[in-house]
Structure formats: C-alpha cells, structure tokens
Amino acid sequence: MTTDTAITRDAAERLDAEDPLRALRQRFVCDEPDTIYLDGNSLGRLPAATPGFLDQVVREGWGTGLVRSWETWIDWSRRLGDRLAAHTLGARPGEVVLSDSTSVNLYKLAAAALDARPGRRTVLADSDDFPTNRYLLQGLAAQRGLKLVTLRSDPDLGLDQDELARTLGGATGGDIALVVLSLVSYRSGALLDMAAVNRAAEAAGALVLWDLSHAGGVIPLRLTADGADLAVGSTYKYLNCGPGAPAFLYVRRDLQTRLRQPVWGWYGQRDQFAMGERYEPVDGLDRFLVGTPPLLSLAAAEPALDVLEQAPVTLLREKSLRLGELAARLAEAWLTPYGFRPASPPDPVRRGSHLALAHPDAERVCRALRARGVICDFRPPDRLRIGMAPLYTRFTDVWDGLDRLRRLMGSRGHEQLSTARPRVT
C-alpha cells in the first residue's frame, strides 16, 4: 500500500475485494448500512448465529431438558477453553477455562501467584495499565503489606521494556514476586514483547500475569511456546462473545498444582458432587473455577468461536496491520490540519488492533461522530480510539469513517462540534 493509493476510496474498495476474510463479515449482524463501527476493541459485533443458538439453549436446554441439561453444560467452561487455547492463545489442552470476569480472574491468579512466592515483597506493574488492574493490585498490596512499584509508561508509546528489564535484573529484582502487564495497552494500543518479558522475569524468579483483553483474537499468541505463566482476558471484545461474557483464564500446566487461588468454590473441588466437608482442590485447571457459571452468557461463546475458528490468527493480524496502516495514513493526511496527532506507536508492528488519536476536544469529537453514524470511543484525557476488528471491519469502513471525521472538522461540521455537550461524569 503506497501513500498515494491509501488516500483514494477506490484503493480501499480494491483492498476489500482482495481480502481473504471478506466473507466472514456476513457471519455478523450488520443491520445498519450507514453505521460505521470502529469500536470492536470495546464490544465485538453480534455473530449472526448467536440469537438462534441461545434460543435453542433456552427453549430446548432449559425449557425441555431442565436440570438434565447440566450433563451437557457441566464442562462447557473447559471445552470452550480448550477451543480458545488451540486456535487463539497458543496453549495446550487443559490450560484455559472460561470463568468469571477478567477482573475476578486477575485477582484469583495474582493472589495465588503471590502465595507461591513467599518472602518476596514487591509487585511490578504498568503505571498506565487498565484502572481495575491497578486497583486490584493496590488492594492486594495493602492487604498483604507489599510494595507495589509502577513503572513509567508513555501514554503514546507504552511501557519502556528496557526499564522493565533493568528493574528485574537490578538489585531489587530478587524481591519481585509478580509482574502484571497488559500485552496491548488499552489506551494507546502499544504492544509488548511477551517472550522477552517472560525471559527477564524468569531469570529474576518472578511470575508474570498477562492481561490479554486487547490481544486475544487479533495478535498471534504463543502462551506455551513463549513461556507464559499466567494470563486472563476479555471475551467480549475481538472474540465477540457478548457483553459481560465470562472471561478466559490461563495457567501453565506445570504451575497448576503449585498454585491455590483464594476463592474456594465447589466447581474447583475434588469429587464435586460428593459435597465433601473440607475443600480439596482438583489437581488440574478446574481448581481455578469457583461457582456455577452464568450459563446463558457462557453459551454465547460457542457460535462466536465457530466464526473465529474460520480465520487463522495470522491472517487476522495481517489484515489488522493493513487496516491500521490505512487509518494512520489517512489521519496524517486529513486530520493533522485540525489539531489531531498520533497517540500510538508509529511502528505498526508495535501496535495492537486499535489506533489512538489525540485531540484537545476528543470527547466532543467522539460524541459528534456518533451523531454522524461513526462509532468509536474516547479515553481520557484526549484520546480518540479507532478500533479495527479484522473479522468484520472493511477497508472502506476505515476510509469512510475518517472521511466523515475530516468533514466534521471542516467549517460547517466544526459548528456542530461546538454544540455537542460533553459527558457529565
């Protein structure tokens, strides 16, 4: 893609025609032809098969099968986890389950990891990580009398991995119990080198807990091969499992029996239906489960994975990079005169699948764009996030969305922007 062709809509149409993933868009509900959806990094589109599948689960499984359907449902968390492990996460069978929320899973694994490193008093984190992750670590540190060290993170470029490596290899490295990081920054889209971080942490004797919420489904992951210890992630972004769908949880096989999570529930109990008096966790990954899963939300993962498995993650990544390149070049050509600047790493291979643009009036811009049928999102203090989900986002969606944005910022559009009321928080 050259700079010249990147700026013509005809070029975007040609890229759509040549896209090997183009047919997969038909597997999603896209009912509003004039709406341009560039927010798959927050909530993925609805797979077309999901309503019918959930109706079947409700009417046949619940309505007709009643409690007998638990014979099918009881191991759904593990079966779906194995599918996600094989296709998307680069993990082995028995290393991934779907359960709880991303935040609850992160708490469970962080607490278990800290217990497994007695005597070490330091937790290492990204100063600009997603707020819940930071809050959970603040709480754990306060409860246990630990020291939480947050590393400097550039709001545009992300965490400085050289500083991370120096910290792990320095005089205090032997006191670090746990490192908690997001592979892709929720704000800027900056992408870390997982394998390099894992190696540095292993040399220091620390465990690493990854948040893969903005990576799963768009970044080719190799959790086992890259030596990952622990990971969690959302399923309702690029995995399209639905709002509030249970998150995924990964624990490397050899760590499973060495860790005991803090929330002891009957789904993690050995011989679950014996209703034993004392808690004795099973030997495998099920020890990280807690209680009865939200079955209808869990069920929505089945048709979502059916679609996802039609596309190798390498192809998804390739298209994601090309979508991001188009967005970045159009933004540079069209939006710089209106005060926008890139707020993501300039090297596309250092980004996930969303592009951040900074503008002093970004919140008003985001609201005014929605009124024009372009859905993206705003993150404080001044970031507009353009999320490109390669399963269904077209090159023409990116071209048209940014074209509407430049028209909005033109003379007449800017008058409309000035009247858009900011969100009350």
Report in angstroms the alpha-carbon separations of 419 from 8, 233, 375, 377.
Answer: 31, 38, 19, 19
Q: Going by C-beta distance under 8 Å and a sequence separation of 6 or more, which residues neighbour residue 144?
A: 114
Q: What does each C-alpha distance from 26 to 29, 39, 49, 393 come to in angstroms?
A: 8, 18, 11, 11
Question: By C-alpha distance, which of 390, 395, 362 is closest to 376?
Answer: 362
Q: Which of 37, 107, 186, 236 is catalytic?
A: 236
Catalytic hit among 27, 78, 237, 351:
237
**Angle, nearest 10°, between helix axes 102-115 and 131-144?**
30
Asked if 378 is an active-site residue, the reply is no
CA distance 68 to 232: 31
237 is catalytic: yes
Give the DSSP letter of residue 153: E
- Is residue 130 part of the annotated active site? The answer reads yes
Contacts of 208 (CB under 8 A, 6+ apart): 178, 179, 180, 181, 197, 198, 201, 228, 229, 230
108 is catalytic: no
CA dist 320 and 90 (Å) reads: 19
Contact (Cβ atoms closer than 8 angstroms) between residue 187 and residue 379: yes
Amino acid at 295: L
Tokens (6 digits) for 319: 């298209």
Q: Positive or negative CA dihedral for 250, 215, 133, 99?
A: negative
Q: Which is catalytic among the residues 130, 250, 340, 378?
A: 130
**Cβ-contact 13, 400 below 8 angstroms:** no
- Active-site residue, from 82, 211, 229, 397: 211
Question: Order of strands across the sheet with 176-182?
Answer: 96-99, 247-251, 230-233, 207-211, 176-182, 122-126, 147-151
Question: What DSSP line would sit under 201-246, residue for residue?
Answer: HHHHT-EEEEE-TTTTTTS---TTTTT--EEEE-SSSTT---TTPP
Catalytic residue, chosen from 385, 392, 394, 395, is 385
**162 burial via Cβ count (<10 Å: 0-12, 13-18, 19+):** exposed
Is there a catalytic annotation at residue 385?
A: yes
The residues that are catalytic are: 130, 211, 236-237, 385
